[in-house]
Amino acid sequence: MVSNWNKIKILPVQGLNATVSEVFSFLQNQGCFVFPWGGSIRDLVLGNFIVDIDAEITCDPRLLRQACIERFGAKNCKRHHRGNLKREA
């Protein structure tokens, strides 16, 4: 599995001038614990190509989005879905 991760972490992230490893490091530098799950983990274990990585994060998505905009630009940091972010009343 480590061998497979070493292959995956150097892949470029679509739309960003960064690798998977650089994006994970960016998240960690923002104080986010990143917990990948789902098909990406299955594919990693099986040695299959990973198309996307679903993950939970432990930091505030609004603060993370602002940091993302500063690092990668607004066009690359769109919210694709609401996830666990709840609208404040």
List CB contacts of 84: < 8 A, sequence separation 6 or more: 56, 61
Which pLDDT score, from 0 to 100, does residue 89 have?
39
List CB contacts of 51: < 8 A, sequence separation 6 or more: 39, 43
User: Is it the case that residue 19 has pLDDT exceeding 50?
Assistant: yes
User: Taking all residues of the chain, what is their mean pLDDT, rounded to a whole number?
Assistant: 81
Which pLDDT score, from 0 to 100, does residue 22 have?
92
64, 76 Cβ separation under 8 angstroms = no
Tokens of 6: 């070493």
Residue with tokens 């986010």: 32
Which pLDDT score, from 0 to 100, does residue 70 have?
92
Q: What is the mean pLDDT of residues 8-18?
A: 84
Which pLDDT score, from 0 to 100, does residue 10 have?
86
> CA 57 → CA 4, 7, 48, 63, distances in Å?
22, 23, 24, 12
**Of the ranges 5-9, 10-14, 65-69, which is most confident?**
65-69
Domains of the chain, CATH where assigned: 2-76 (3.30.460.10)
